[in-house]
Amino acid sequence: MATTTPLTPPDQCGKPPSLPSGARWWALCAAAALGLAVCSSLGPHRVWGSVAALGYLAAALLAARGRSPRTAGAVAVAGAVLLPLLWLLAVEQAQLEVRVVARSAGLLLAKGTPYLQRPMVPEDFNPYLPGMAVFGLPEAVAGPGPLTDPRLWMGAAFLGALAFALPAGFRSAPLRWIAACPLVALPLAVGGVDLPVAGLMCLGLALAGRERAGAAGLALGAAAALKWTAWPAIPVALALLAAASRSAGRTADRAAARCGIVALLTAAALVLPVALRDPGAFRAHVVDFPLGLTDAVSSAASPLPGHLLATHVPGGRTLALLLLGVSALLIALSLLVRPPATTADAAVRLALGLLLAIAFMPASRVGYLVHPLVLVAWAAARQTPDQPPFLVRVRKQVSR
């Protein structure tokens, strides 16, 4: 087992994080938003692209004229998140996922399960784990409205979790940059189920880095009850806790075991009651449908290798799943051989694993890249003066 360097003291950040900014960055964001507005067939995405492009352009002009990054970033957030969100709320437009979450909450209250018993078309399926229905409860209880819209609660959960995961004193700039980044601003406005998952993963790793094993288990267990994509964060957090214990000369198993047990119990408490109530519906929605094993095929599509293999190559789905399994095995081995020494290293390792999973999943969207993006941006925000440049550390993680 390779030795590890001592963990950086929690939340000790000696300088503001360095993230891409400036006129060129905001101009690139404007071009991306405009491209989506022109090319997308989805109404909410076209609205977001049109409005966000203007917001990013305004931020680019301000940056070019020498205004502070804080001012340009605030304008970008207003133009790429707040304005399109308010517009879409006013005209009652949202991404399909928002309606799925709202419907699942209504079903949960009425029937004790968020899953339709006999789904027929892709829109009938709810591929999320039972915890995701929580974000639809305000609408299910109080009725539809701007304040009960699930995307507001998903966005609030994401931003709140991420704020607590960032170093004290340097939360404003990273939050502003992450929120304004197109891959995050789009789901904040149109609705994105991946955001609260990403936020809770960051919070869980941050708590693990502070050696708060039980609290880390709670955060990661909550994330694991939302989507399958959160489950890889648990072994990464366990490896981080074990490395911290060894570097301090303590028994490595105790903190890691506490985190793992709490995470599994939390996820089980939120998932198992629903799964046991109707096992057939649970399997059809959250296992068979995402893997493409139902008659109704998921609309998730992308130019990523897994989807291309599953769509265009005979036996490609099996090959994609094999590549997915090999990738998971390699990441697991890396955690055993070279466990992450710092919280930022753990975030980069998890981001790499999720990037490989997104690449090889048979049904995947480019939007899923929000997970590794948020993790890497969050890791960059934790950069400290005594550490090598962040991109150098990323290259070291990838080459291990």
Tens digits of per-residue pLDDT, 274-313?
Answer: 999 999 999 999 998 887 777 777 666 678 888 788 888 8
Please name which of 390, 365, 387 lies closest in space to residue 379, comparing C-alpha atoms: 390
Q: Give 395's pLDDT tier (boundaries 50, 70, 90).
A: very low
The model's confidence at residue 317, banded by pLDDT at 50, 70 and 90, is confident
| Burial degree of 398 (CB within 10 A; 0-12, 13-18, 19+) | exposed
pLDDT at 222 over 70: yes
**CA 147, 152, 157, 159 torsion-angle sign:** negative
Q: What pLDDT was estimated at residue 14?
A: 45
| Residue 397 pLDDT greater than 90, yes or no | no
Pick the residue with more confidence: 135 or 123? 135
pLDDT at residue 54 greater than cutoff 60: yes
* Packing angle, helices 150-165 and 194-209, rounded to 10: 20
pLDDT at 23 over 80: yes
Q: Please give the pLDDT value at position 36.
A: 95
pLDDT at 385 over 60: no
Residue 17 is predicted with a pLDDT of 47
Percent of the chain clearing pLDDT 70 (strictly above): 88
Residue 104 pLDDT more than 90?
yes
Residue 93 binned pLDDT confidence (cut-offs 50, 70, 90): very high
Region 157-186 average pLDDT: 90
What pLDDT score was predicted for residue 112? 93
> What is the overall mean pLDDT for the chain?
88
Entry pTM: 0.89
**pLDDT in the model for residue 251:** 63
Q: For position 258, what pLDDT does the model report?
A: 95
